[in-house]
Structure 1
Amino acid sequence: MALADQLRLMVITDPVLLKGRDPVAVCRAAVTGGATMVQVRWKDGTPAEILELTQALVAALPVPVLVNDRVDIALAGG
Structure 2
Amino acid sequence: MHADIHLTLHTLRSAELRREATEFRQATEFRQPAEFREAAGPRRARTDLRTRLGWSLVELGLRLVNRPVARTRTHLA
Q: What's the TM-score once normalised by structure 1's chain length?
A: 0.22
Which structure features the higher share of helix residues? 2
Structure ID, larger Rg: 2
User: Which has a greater percent of strand?
Assistant: 1
Higher relative contact order (CA 8 A, sep 6+): 1
TM-score, normalised via structure 2 length = 0.23
